[in-house]
Amino acid sequence: MDILGIETSCDETAAAVVRDGRTVLSNVVYTQIPLHQPYGGVVPEIASRAHVEKISEVVKTALAQYAEAVPGGSVDAVAVTYGPGLSPALIVGLNAAKGLAMSMDVPLIGINHMEAHLHTPFLDAEPGTPPPENCTPALGLAISGGHTCWFDIPEYGVYETIGQTLDDAAGEAFDKASKLLGLGYPGGPKVDRIAKAYFAAAGGGKDLIPFPKGHPREGVSALAGLPAELCVSFSGLKTALLRHVQQNPSLLAPEPGAPVLEYAPGATVTMEVARVVASYQEAIVGAVADRTRRALRRRSYRALVLGGGVSLNSRIRSVLADVARSAHVELLMAKPKYCGDNGAMIAALAYYRRNIVGDAAMRLDVAPSLETGV
């Protein structure tokens, strides 16, 4: 079954065709990052306008690539993200998908963006990767610019939230730190590269600043009944970073001759900034690894399934690989090109999850705060 997937929940306009939930036949992602860069974050109105301008071209290109891969083929259904995400952005994809499903005379399928991220390890997976239905019970970790959530997945398609961030998502925490340190948007990829270069130059994680590790206080109402040991809070970390920057003005106005670190060809930061960045990343990675370790101890899982843009982070990937190894569970991570937002994950999940289909999907409205597993 070949499904066309459409994704416009944030700042990527994306479309793809996937066969039987796993084989990617075409995949087109137009990223709006350069449009949002001057503002240091995603501006919903700009995102919406850019989706309107690009959606037809992106879908046309995805269908043209599909026609090349499968001459004479025709898609069997259209799938689309209806939440969570930015309302004016989601509307563009949902309306386009409704129109396409009608004109192609195929069913429409409504898809939850976070559930789709958790399907990404199965996209074009290495031979030997078990099918999703053979990986449960699994612990799911969705970690992106908008979410940081741990899910119990007792069987494929059933998601129960067992832990989450009480404030900022991990990606948001990376992006805010990057903005504060004048490193630009999006912050995650830069922080990753700078920290990696720092660890290489400093010979490991020596001299790191002991930033808070995001433990929420037991009993606070924000936990909403979830166990504190499986939740994180990054607001204290953000405040600690702000205080550190205020107390060390040379971070933003370096002394002439301050030692620098080249973290990418031609791109440098001062060693002092690199140390702060590496320490900050380590606090986030440490918090995520600690909660994951605890979640893995609570029941016997077959796999740890990772999804979302932050799962691209090289340090998170290697630390979680150790965590999974110690807990004797298989770690399933997406290929880097499927970690960020894309249409392939929407098309792929739709093969397995057809709970909102046909007329019900045609009646769908966008759900910016859509929960996972409902």
Site string for ligand KG4, 135-154 (x = CB under 6 A): ---------xxx--------
Task: Identify the H or E element spanning 333.
Answer: none
Residue 171's binding partner among Zn ion, ligand KG4, none (Cβ under 5 to 8 angstroms by kind) is ligand KG4
Q: Which backbone phi and psi does 12 adopt, to 5 degrees?
A: -125, 130
23-31 vs 12-19, strand pairing mode: antiparallel
3-state secondary structure at position 258:
coil
How many alpha carbons lie under 13 Å from residue 371 in its C-beta half-sphere? 9
Residue 174's binding partner among Zn ion, ligand KG4, none (Cβ under 5 to 8 angstroms by kind) is ligand KG4
Q: Is 313 in the site for ligand KG4 (CB under 6 A)?
A: yes
Pick between residue 150 and residue 198 the one whose CB is nearest to Zn ion: 150
Residue 186's binding partner among ligand KG4, Zn ion, none (Cβ under 5 to 8 angstroms by kind) is ligand KG4
Pick between residue 8 and residue 279 the one whose CB is nearest to Zn ion: 8
One residue of 6, 10, 108, 118 binding ligand KG4 per CB under 6 A: 10
Number of C-beta neighbours around residue 299 at 10 A: 11
Q: Is 163 in the site for ligand KG4 (CB under 6 A)?
A: no
Q: Are 291 and 230 within 8 A, CB to CB?
A: yes
Q: In the bound complex, what is the minimum distance in angstroms from residue 31's beta carbon to Zn ion?
A: 12
Q: In the bound complex, what is the minimum distance in angstroms from residue 191's beta carbon to ligand KG4?
A: 6
Please identify, among the stretches 44-52, 169-177, 206-214, 323-331, the one whose residues bind ligand KG4 according to the rule CB under 6 A.
169-177
Pick between residue 75 and residue 285 the one whose CB is nearest to ligand KG4: 285
Residue 164 is classified by DSSP as E
Alpha carbon distances (Å) from 297 to 140, 241, 273: 14, 31, 36
Q: Is 84 in the site for ligand KG4 (CB under 6 A)?
A: no
Q: How far is CA 343 from the centre of its chain?
A: 13
One residue of 21, 107, 171, 343 binding ligand KG4 per CB under 6 A: 171
Closest among 82, 84, 106, 86 to 94, alpha carbons compared: 82
Q: How far is 16 from 274, CA to CA, in rounded Å?
A: 38
What tokens appear for 166 in the block?
């009480």
Please identify, among the stretches 66-74, 171-179, 217-225, 231-239, the one whose residues bind ligand KG4 according to the rule CB under 6 A.
171-179
Residue 21's binding partner among Zn ion, ligand KG4, none (Cβ under 5 to 8 angstroms by kind) is none
Task: Identify the H or E element spanning 30.
Answer: strand 23-31
| Interaction site with Zn ion (CB under 5 A) | 144, 341
Pick between residue 192 and residue 341 the one whose CB is nearest to Zn ion: 341
What tokens appear for 351 in the block?
């093969």
Q: In the bound complex, what is the minimum distance in angstroms from residue 214's beta carbon to ligand KG4?
A: 15
What tokens appear for 322 in the block?
């150790």
Q: In the bound complex, what is the minimum distance in angstroms from residue 298's beta carbon to ligand KG4?
A: 26
Q: Which residues of 43-58 are buried (b: 16+ CB within 10 A; e: fewer)?
A: bbebbbbbbbebbeeb
Q: In the bound complex, what is the minimum distance in angstroms from residue 188's beta carbon to Zn ion?
A: 12
Pick between residue 65 and residue 120 the one whose CB is nearest to ligand KG4: 120
Q: How far is 24 from 282, CA to CA, in rounded Å?
A: 34
State the greatest distance between any 2 C-alpha atoms of the chain, in Å, as a whole number.
Answer: 66
Q: Are 223 and 216 within 8 A, CB to CB?
A: yes
3-state secondary structure at position 208:
coil
Q: In the bound complex, what is the minimum distance in angstroms from residue 333's beta carbon to Zn ion?
A: 15
Evaluate the omega torsion of the peptide bond into residue 107 and state whether it is cis, within 30 degrees of 0.
no
What tokens appear for 129 in the block?
């990767």
Q: Is 340 in the site for ligand KG4 (CB under 6 A)?
A: yes
Q: Is 309 in the site for ligand KG4 (CB under 6 A)?
A: yes
Residue 310's binding partner among Zn ion, ligand KG4, none (Cβ under 5 to 8 angstroms by kind) is ligand KG4
Q: Is 115 in the site for ligand KG4 (CB under 6 A)?
A: no
Pick between residue 163 and residue 340 the one whose CB is nearest to ligand KG4: 340
Site string for ligand KG4, 174-203 (x = CB under 6 A): xx----------xxxx--x-----------
Contact residues: ligand KG4, CB under 6 A: 10, 144-146, 171, 174-175, 186-189, 192, 308-310, 312-313, 340-341
